[in-house]
Structure 1
């Protein structure tokens, strides 16, 4: 289940753009495979195949079809050097 926090909704309302979750990329080693947390940004995907457009709390969110749906995930904001950025909270290395 994917949700949006109140601070993320406020930032999205300011920007007036859809939200895009990048495709999760797996990193494979000799004996393990991990998938780091995908980034979240504003905009639309260059190639829409592999994405589903979801309406979450009146916000357009492009969600990759390969995003695991086993845990509740929340899009939140964080401050980095004075910039407010979106990130995915609740992600675990898979």
Structure 2
């Protein structure tokens, strides 16, 4: 389940663009592999035939067809030096 926080919703609506989620998958490390979780990007995905279009709180969100999570995830916005970016909150690395 994917939600959008009120702050992220407000930010996305000011940009007037859809967003899409990429499921990064596991990354190999020296002691095994870790899945750092999905990422959020602006616009339409490069291969949109592999995505499902969802409408969440009036925002168009492209989600990979094979996207699955057993925990609730939230699109959030954060700011660093007045630069805002979107990220996924709630992903458990371990």
TM-score > 0.5 by shorter chain: yes
The answer to whether the 8 A contact 2:23-2:37 is kept is no
Q: Point out the more displaced range, 23-32 or 1-10.
A: 23-32
Q: CA deviation at 1:92?
A: 1.0
Q: 1:11 to 1:28 in 2, by over 3 A?
A: same
Question: Taking structure 2 as the reference length, what is the TM-score of the superposition?
Answer: 0.87
- Determine the C-alpha separation between the residues in 1 that align with 2:21 and 2:53: 11
Q: CA deviation at 1:68?
A: 2.5
> 4+ residue stretches of structure 1 with deviation over 4 A?
none
- Of 5-14 and 46-55, more deviation after overlay is shown by 46-55
Could you state the TM-score of these two structures normalised by the residue count of structure 1?
0.87
Name the counterpart of 2:89. 89
Contact conserved, 1:20 with 1:40, CA < 8 A, in 2? Answer: yes
Q: Is the alpha carbon distance of 1:49 and 1:28 closer, same or farther for their aligned partners in structure 2, counting shifts above 3 Å?
A: farther
**1:23 corresponding residue in structure 2:** 23
Which residues of structure 1 form unaligned runs of 5+?
none
Provide the aligned C-alpha RMSD in A. Answer: 1.7
* Structure whose residues are more often strand by fraction: 2
The 8 Å contact of residues 24 and 37 in structure 1, kept in 2 or not, is answered as yes
**1:58-73 alignment runs, 5 A limit:** 58-73=58-73
Tell me how many residue pairs correspond in the alignment.
94
